Amino acid sequence: MQYAAEIKGISYCYPDSTKALHQVSLSIPEGAKVAILGANGCGKSTLLYHLNGLLLAQTGNVKIFGSEVNEENIQQIREKVGFVFANPDSQLFATSVREDIAFGPRNQRLNEEEVQMRANKAMEQVGIKNLAERPPQNLSLGQKKRVAIAGVLAMHPDILVFDEITVGLDPASKRELFEILANLEQQGKTLIISTHDVDLAFQWASEIVVMADGKICATGSGDLLRDKELVARTALETPQVAEIFSETSYRPKSVTEAKQIVNRLDEKASIL
């Protein structure tokens, strides 16, 4: 089986000798929705940076659709793997929002008509057409984040990585972002996020990856987060939907499923 991303035995030590990753291996199937969870400093960003060559493996290797990431193919890898930084200031530099979003497709040497078409479509997707001529540096954090996401969407990557996906977004912007993700999912894209929001990860992800101290402690479905020992050991918390039903035999995956269970119980109680 060819994976969208295959990480084998990578370790990473920063120049100041901080050991951030120890022998990490992870295989991500095409079309998966992966959420990486773990305490501050456990290595989530460092791991994600390896997916598009922002960091190169010091030991082990990273393959994207079967191609090993190295200095020679970084450009091709970055066309396949779009990366949205936790802090959008890290990726916004042009004089206008439109120019910022156009930068990626222009770099792919697409003709100007296609570049503008992609920039317009991406701005429309994230609802920032009204900001097209503004300098990105002057925007609010949430607006900047949308510009950064539009810049990645305009490149048409197969894999999208969102580091600390919801940081700085208000509830409505979060919902809109996850609508965009649902649309990308339907297009068969592989989506990888890091987050501290266990509720979001529980409800959204097809695969959860739990990290601690530069290592992967567990991978699996959202049910992993019902494991109280794992949750306590990795400084996470049980998702609220799981916690509320933890003493029962019900296993709702989402608030919607939980509501359906409560409604059914309510109906039963009113009959009795």
Ligand X SMILES: Nc1ncnc2c1ncn2[C@@H]1O[C@H](COP(=O)(O)OP(=O)(O)OP(=O)(O)O)[C@@H](O)[C@H]1O
> For binding to ligand X (CB under 6 A), which residues are involved?
14, 16, 18, 20, 38, 40-46
Distances (CA, A) of 197 to 9, 109, 152, 166, 204: 27, 38, 23, 8, 11
Residues 160, 166, 169, 171, CA torsion sign: positive
CB of 38 to ligand X, least distance (A): 6
Q: Do 14 and 22 touch, CB atoms closer than 8 A?
A: no
CB of 116 to ligand X, least distance (A): 35
CB of 46 to ligand X, least distance (A): 3
The nearer residue to ligand X, 155 or 200, going by C-beta atoms, is 200
The nearer residue to ligand X, 42 or 236, going by C-beta atoms, is 42
The nearer residue to ligand X, 84 or 258, going by C-beta atoms, is 84
Q: Do 248 and 56 touch, CB atoms closer than 8 A?
A: no
Residue 61: which of 69, 53, 73, 52 has the closest Cα? 69
The nearer residue to ligand X, 44 or 106, going by C-beta atoms, is 44
The nearer residue to ligand X, 110 or 212, going by C-beta atoms, is 212
| Residue length of the chain | 272
CB of 167 to ligand X, least distance (A): 9
Distance CA 149, CA 65 (A): 22
Report residue 7 CA to chain centroid gap.
16
Distance CA 14, CA 182 (A): 35
Residue 2, class by beta-carbon neighbours within 10 Å (0-12 exposed, 13-18 middle, 19+ buried)?
exposed
The nearer residue to ligand X, 16 or 266, going by C-beta atoms, is 16
Tokens representing 109 are: 């040497």
CB of 196 to ligand X, least distance (A): 6
CB of 21 to ligand X, least distance (A): 8
